[in-house]
Amino acid sequence: MLQSLLLRASNSISLPLPNRHQLSPSPKPLSAWIDAAPSAGQSPSNYRSALPSLRCTAAGGGSELQPLQNQGMAAQDEKDPRIARISSSIRIIPDFPKKGILFQDITTLLLDTKAFKDTIDLFVDRYKGKNISVVAGIEARGFIFGPPIALAIGAKFVPLRKPKKLPGEVISEEYSLEYGKDVIEMHVGAVQAGERALVIDDLIATGGTLCAAIRLLERVGVHVVECACVIELPELKGRERLEDKPLFVLISG
Amino acid sequence: MFAGENGLQGDPRLKAISDAIRVVPHFPKPGIMFQDITTLLLDHKAFKDTVDIFVDRYRDMDISVVAGVEARGFLFGPSIALAIGAKFVPLRKPKKLPGEVISEKYVLEYGNDCLEMHVGDVNHGERAIIIDDLVATGGTLSAAITLLERVGAEVVECACVIGLPEFKGKCRLNGKPLYILVEPRQ
């Protein structure tokens, strides 16, 4: 039996984090990547600038979770030694997927067993006991962080995937990229109306993918409690694109 | 080998895991009965049991690397890695990994595909397991074994949730043992 896999690049950019892996001498201005055209074969991804788009969410309200000193950041951020180690374990790869982009590579985080465990623990500590029954993870790097969190907090894990990957009946949500559109899908019946959910991805850039994920879940009556990412690129204003949907990140900048 | 013939005979968790997997006929094409593990992920107990069975097996085998095959290997591998204190190494389709990679081609029914791993993820002499949701022809897992062996790692075992019955008994893949929880359902 063969199972075909249709995979596409889904990447993001950053301005450099202050860490030892930084190779580029100085950050490129935002215009350097906003104006760049996607290369052939690459799917323009969520690092593009925010575009006029569908309302991210119909639901209102602020975060019901513990307000933090820095809005939506790990409260201890500068002081918690776990955060510093997590941040320094992330590798920056210049000019990937194309010139001018500084890619935040979390695969090096996964090689540091303590940093990876701390990453999961920080999310689990925040979300356990909050009656969250769904952790939705965005393909593919959301698949790395989401399941351990789901297992630890007693929730189910729901993969949100690119088109034609999920074998059963799906609902789809289209979203805008700088050039063109992309689609994210979820299995019908994976979630029920009234369930409380988190959406997980490794990084939020412009917020386009996360917005689409939120809309997908809310269309079937799920309450998205919060979005959670390891990394935020604040210059790309993803937090604003999420509007009133709370965002929690471990590392920003 | 299958878990049910090796240490977990009659373990009720195995039946629950099998029952939680949905079969989707004629996906991705007519005649194929696709084993959909997404329904297993919705069953918290069955999902946890799946991870626990692998963790119990590998925790004391001095494994320092859990390599997971994109994308469904990512659903199981990291939890296992975290529990046994190993690093998680993603094995990906071409052009996904941003750093320097090594690549291994493998044959599909029609055409070829390619699996990549970051240079430096795995060191010579490390003991590794490879995780995927399902083993059918073994083509992808064979490529994964080769990638790890090329950098001098010792592949201790390949672990899959689902495997075709021909992998029963002492059947090996590229000389490596397989450990499988359940057979495909009809």
Residue among A113, A117, A144 minimizing CB distance to B74:
A144
Q: Is A136 on the interface with B (CB under 8 A)?
A: no
Nearest chain B residue to A149 by CA: give it: B79
pLDDT of residue A24: 35
| Residue bearing the bigger pLDDT, B53 or A78 | B53
CB neighbourhood size of A59 (10 A)? 13
Q: In the predicted model, is pLDDT for residue B108 greater than 60?
A: yes
- The DSSP code sequence of B59-89 is TTTT--EEEEETTTHHHHHHHHHHHHT-EEE
Q: Identity (one letter) of the amino acid at A169? A: E
**Cα–Cα distance measured from residue A222 to residue B152, given in angstroms and rounded to the nearest whole number:** 47
What CATH topology corresponds to A43-87+117-252? Rossmann fold (3.40.50)
Question: Residue ranges per domain, chain A?
Answer: 43-87+117-252
A33 touches chain B (CB under 8 A): no
Cβ neighbours of B66 in A, within 8 Å? none
B59 and B80 in contact (C-beta within 8 Å)? no
Q: Write out the catalytic residue numbers of A.
A: 141, 178
Residue scoring higher pLDDT (A78 or B155)? B155
Whether residue A19 contacts residue A92, with contact meaning beta carbons closer than 8 Å, is answered with yes
* pLDDT value for A38: 37
Cα separation of B51 and B22, whole Å?
18
Q: Which two tokens stand for residue A98?
A: 């194309």
- Is B54 in CB contact (< 8 Å) with chain A? no
Average pLDDT, integer, range B72-80 = 98
pLDDT over 90, % of chain B: 94
Average pLDDT, chain B: 96
B117 Cα distance to chain centroid: 15
User: Which pLDDT belongs to residue A65?
Assistant: 73
Q: How confident is the model over B130-154, as a mean pLDDT?
A: 97
Which among B85, B98, B134 is the nearest to A113, CB-wise?
A: B85
Q: What is the dihedral of CA A71, A73, A74, A75, to 10 degrees?
A: -30
Q: Is the pLDDT of residue B115 over 80?
A: yes
The answer for B 142-161 residues in CB contact with A (under 8 A) is: none
Q: Tens digit of pLDDT for each residue in B33-50?
A: 999 999 999 999 999 999
Q: Which ipTM score applies to this complex?
A: 0.97
Contact A239, A247 (CB under 8 A): yes
C-alpha distance from A158 to closest chain B C-alpha (Å): 7
* pTM, full prediction: 0.85
Give pLDDT, residue B170: 83
What is d(CA A187, CA A160) in angstroms, rounded to the nearest whole number? Answer: 8
pLDDT at B109: 75
Residues lower than pLDDT 50 in chain A:
1-54, 58-62, 67-71, 75-77
The arithmetic mean of pLDDT across residues B52-72, rounded, is 98
